[in-house]
């Protein structure tokens, strides 16, 4: 039988790389055919803005809404972690063994268009967060320690504050925490 000659892998790869470079070098050669006329100048215009688009809400960083003093007022000693919630931007804070808070900023949906996580069977009560209209959503009958406060923001947008107690009990305490956080972020919303 004829014995096959084996080429070391590194030499084979080097040969392939050199062949590829030679081909690419030929592709970059200028043609000697007719010159191409210069392209027409491109006009740049900003896309039309919708009067319904919330000013600045889409660029807002939810994790930046709570300063260290705000976190202390809310009973949080940890930093928030960014989180995507569908198309909306969010931030989670988890106080180990106590409770968690999620703030979601949604430039597309007003509070009345949203259902808060885990509270679909709950009641929606109109309330205030600072000087803004807000809605508290909780299922007090379930007593599951979950509550949300949905705050109006921008033109047609919202910020939601969802609180879950670690014990999954005491919905009133969860709502108190959600209202506190909503009151802290309301002045920072567009």
Along the 190 residues of the chain, how does pLDDT read in single tens digits? 444 444 443 333 333 333 333 333 333 333 344 444 444 443 333 333 333 333 477 788 999 999 999 999 999 999 999 998 888 899 999 999 999 999 999 888 778 776 544 445 568 899 999 999 999 999 988 889 999 999 999 888 899 999 999 999 999 999 999 999 999 999 999 9
pLDDT at position 43: 36
Q: In the chain, where do the E strands start and end?
A: 81-85, 88-95, 99-106, 123-129, 132-138, 146-153, 157-165
For residue 122, the model assigns a pLDDT of 65
Res 182: pLDDT: 97
What's residue 121's pLDDT? 56
pTM to 2 decimal places: 0.67
Contacts of 105 (CB under 8 A, 6+ apart): 57, 60, 62, 88, 89, 90, 153, 157, 158, 159
> What six digits make up the tokens of 78?
């940890």
């Amino acid at each position: 039988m004829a014995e096959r000659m084996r080429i070391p892998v590194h030499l084979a790869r080097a040969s392939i790389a050199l062949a590829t470079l030679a081909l690419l070098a030929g592709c970059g050669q200028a043609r000697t055919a007719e010159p191409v006329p210069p392209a027409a100048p491109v006009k740049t215009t900003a896309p039309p803005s919708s009067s319904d688009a919330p000013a600045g809400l889409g660029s807002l960083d939810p994790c930046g809404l709570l300063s260290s003093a705000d976190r202390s007022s809310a009973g949080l000693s940890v930093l928030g972690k960014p989180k995507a919630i569908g198309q909306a931007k969010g931030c989670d804070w988890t106080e180990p063994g106590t409770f968690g808070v999620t703030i979601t900023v949604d430039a597309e949906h007003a509070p009345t268009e949203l259902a808060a996580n885990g509270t679909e069977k709950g009641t929606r009560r109109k309330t205030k967060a600072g000087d803004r209209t807000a809605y508290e959503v909780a299922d007090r009958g379930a007593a599951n320690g979950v509550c949300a406060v949905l705050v109006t923001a921008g033109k047609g947008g919202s910020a939601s504050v969802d609180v879950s107690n670690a014990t999954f009990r005491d919905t009133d305490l969860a709502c108190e925490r959600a209202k506190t956080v909503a009151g802290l972020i309301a002045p920072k919303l567009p």
